[in-house]
């Protein structure tokens, strides 16, 4: 799927200059306690399932849309895990973004994990003791999900 149409239109006007965007990220667990990850097509690295919200889109439904679009998995949101500013991130094409990430803990409902769009090279479930290399922020998000006590994480 790549960048949403509204971002492509903005990029026509501002080029690679920084954008402030609403992002979502989820730690999706299955019943065996495994975590759903995708190998990103843009960086080649493994990551939690993430996405950019469309203008006016609610974060929870937007996260569920991203999970389904990217992995073929239907999930349900269990908890708001946290809110954090992430960036700046420079993508391989030179685009620069900062994200207001809204993070969730989600639970598998149905579907078979597979590459379901052009944003991933691979998708799969991983045991916590067999995670591929992840960026520190994604690994931290998993650790916070495992230790979640009902209080969302954010800078105070």
Query: How far is 140 from 56, CA to CA, in rounded Å?
Result: 28
Taken in order of first residue, the domains within the chain and their CATH numbers are 5-151 (3.90.79.10)
Q: Is the whole-model pTM more than 0.85?
A: yes
pLDDT 10s per residue in the chain (156 long)? 567 889 989 999 999 999 999 999 999 999 999 999 999 988 889 999 999 999 999 999 999 999 999 999 999 999 999 999 999 989 888 999 999 999 999 999 999 999 988 889 999 999 999 999 999 999 999 999 999 999 999 998
Task: Go through the chain and tell me how many residues it has.
Answer: 156
Contact call for residues 142 and 73 (beta carbons, < 8 A) = no
Q: How far is residue 98's CA from residue 90's CA, in Å, rounded to a whole number?
A: 9
Q: State phi, psi for 127 to the nearest 5 degrees.
A: -65, 150
Q: Helix (H) and strand (E) counts for the chain?
A: 3, 7
């Amino acid at each position: 799927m790549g960048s949403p149409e509204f971002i492509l239109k903005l990029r026509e006007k501002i080029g690679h200059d920084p954008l402030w965007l609403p992002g979502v990220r989820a730690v999706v667990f299955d019943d065996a306690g495994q975590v759903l990850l995708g190998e990103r097509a843009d960086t080649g690295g493994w990551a939690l399932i993430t996405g950019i919200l469309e203008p006016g889109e609610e974060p929870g439904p937007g996260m569920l849309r991203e999970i389904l679009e990217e992995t073929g998995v239907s999930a349900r949101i269990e908890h708001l895990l946290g809110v954090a500013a992430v960036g700046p991130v420079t993508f391989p094409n030179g685009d620069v973004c900062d994200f207001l990430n809204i993070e969730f803990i989600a639970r598998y409902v149905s579907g078979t994990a597979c590459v379901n769009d052009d944003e991933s090279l691979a998708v799969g479930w991983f045991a916590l003791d067999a995670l591929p290399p992840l960026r520190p922020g994604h690994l931290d998000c998993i650790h916070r999900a495992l230790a979640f006590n009902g209080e969302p994480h954010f800078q105070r």
